[in-house]
Each structure stands twice: as C-alpha cells, then as structure tokens.
Amino acid sequence: MAEIILNVDVRQGTGTGGARAVRRAGAVPGILYGGEQAPVAISVNEKDFKKSLYTGKLLGHLVTLKYGEETQPVIAKDIQFDPVSDRPVHFDLMRVDAKGEIKISVPVHFKNADEAPFSRQGGSLEVVRHEVEIAVRADKIPEELVVDLTASQIGDTIRMSDIKLPKGASATITDRDFVIATIKVSSAAQSEAADEAAAAAEAEG
C-alpha cells in the first residue's frame, strides 16, 4: 500500500468562512472527490500534512486516506499555498482504485548532462516538456521520468520513445512520438564562433 497515510476529519463548514475556521484550528482544509461518490469536505492536521508534504511523495502519488477505521487509496492532485507565508492552505484528493489505471503528469529529469559530448561541443539542452502525462496503474506511478544524456550530441532530438516507462504505462499522446528536448549550439558558443569568424576575416583583409 502507499507509504503516506493522511488521517482526515470530515468538516461541516464549507466555503471561505469554514476554511478559515479550519486553518485557525491548526488544520488544512481539503476536498475529496472522484469515483461515484459525492465530494466530501475534509481537513488534515497542518503539522502532519507538512510532514507528509516534505517527503516529496505526497503530490501526484498514491497515498492512503484514513478516516476512523476506514481507508481509501487517493491521489493528491493539487495543493495551494499562501503566497506570503508559503503555508499549505487547501488541497484536493482524488479517489482511485490502487490497481486501476489513471492519467497523471510526471516530471521529466535529465541526468549526466555534464558528461555528455554536447557539453564539450558548446551545446545546450533546450527542454520542451518538463513533465509528461502518462496512463499508469495508480500503485505504479513513477517518481520521475529519467532521460540519460551521457551519449547525447549537438543536433540530437530526445523524443518520448527515448524514455523508459514502467511496465504497462504509456503516454497519453498516442498520435506522434513527441519531442521532449533538443540539443543545440548554445548562444554563447554561436556568439564566440561569430567573433572568431569576424576576427579571421579582419585579419585576412
């Protein structure tokens, strides 16, 4: 089952006033939705919520919601923060079947750029997509999608087919092998090359 357990309370007061009252009581208001059941207004102790949040495995991951003796697998879909204090002020949880397929966006991370040939060639990585939506079992959601740049050179195009997905997972865009990133000559290298060309032309003249 999921690593994180959120102990929730069902809250009666909804709307702005109800949410403020929940926060004053040291909790974070939220909404549980999805499935065939109606949305439910809930709250979680703020300290416990922050502890789960700081693990990095709350948002976009399968977690267990617990209310009394009842448990339910859910996905944390959205968390809102106060722009000044950065405190969590609201969250959305979606009911899921742990073994059922869902669509979710997963971050793309690039590794070994410093060791890649393009780094020595004056190239730069231009990221087109920082995250990709995939269809995957709720209990098999990957932490990240990894692109290994070890052998990448200037002119290379990294596409979705270059990313290894968990078994049974697939990209939700199916009509094309879309671009994740490209590797081009950096603007600094272009400028340096132009300066060298100008200097050479001046010397010849």
Burial status of residue 13 (CB atoms within 10 A of its CB: 0-12, 13-18, 19 or more) = middle
Which pTM value belongs to this model?
0.74
Contacts of 173 (CB under 8 A, 6+ apart): 133, 160
Instruction: Report the pLDDT value the prediction gives residue 163, as an integer from 0 to 100.
Output: 94
74: domain range? 5-97
Q: Which of 97, 113, 148 is the last residue of a domain?
A: 97
End-to-end CA distance of the chain: 74
Supply the CATH number for residue 92's domain.
2.40.240.10
pLDDT averages per 10-residue partition of the chain, 205 residues: 83 77 93 90 95 88 91 93 93 93 94 91 92 94 93 94 93 96 74 51 58
In this structure, are 107 and 92 located in the same domain? no
Q: Which amino acid is at 47?
A: K
In this structure, are 111 and 193 located in the same domain? yes
| Domains in the chain, number | 2
In this structure, are 74 and 107 located in the same domain? no
Distance, in Å, from the CA atom of 61 to the CA atom of 138, rounded to the nearest integer, reads 8
Tokens of 67: 């209310």
Q: Which of 97, 115, 133 is the last residue of a domain?
A: 97
In this structure, are 76 and 109 located in the same domain? no
Instruction: Report the pLDDT value the prediction gives residue 11, as an integer from 0 to 100.
Output: 86
In this structure, are 61 and 131 located in the same domain? no
Instruction: Report the pLDDT value the prediction gives residue 174, as an integer from 0 to 100.
Output: 94
The Cα-based distances of 23 to 37, 78, 120 in angstroms read 26, 17, 52
- Residues present in the chain in total: 205
Q: Which of 71, 97, 123 is the last residue of a domain?
A: 97
In this structure, are 192 and 118 located in the same domain? yes
Instruction: Report the pLDDT value the prediction gives residue 59, as an integer from 0 to 100.
Output: 86
In this structure, are 92 and 121 located in the same domain? no
In this structure, are 152 and 192 located in the same domain? yes
In this structure, are 122 and 165 located in the same domain? yes
Distance, in Å, from the CA atom of 78 to the CA atom of 59, rounded to the nearest integer, reads 7
Instruction: Report the pLDDT value the prediction gives residue 193, as an integer from 0 to 100.
Output: 45
Supply the CATH number for residue 115's domain.
2.170.120.20
Instruction: Report the pLDDT value the prediction gives residue 50, as an integer from 0 to 100.
Output: 94
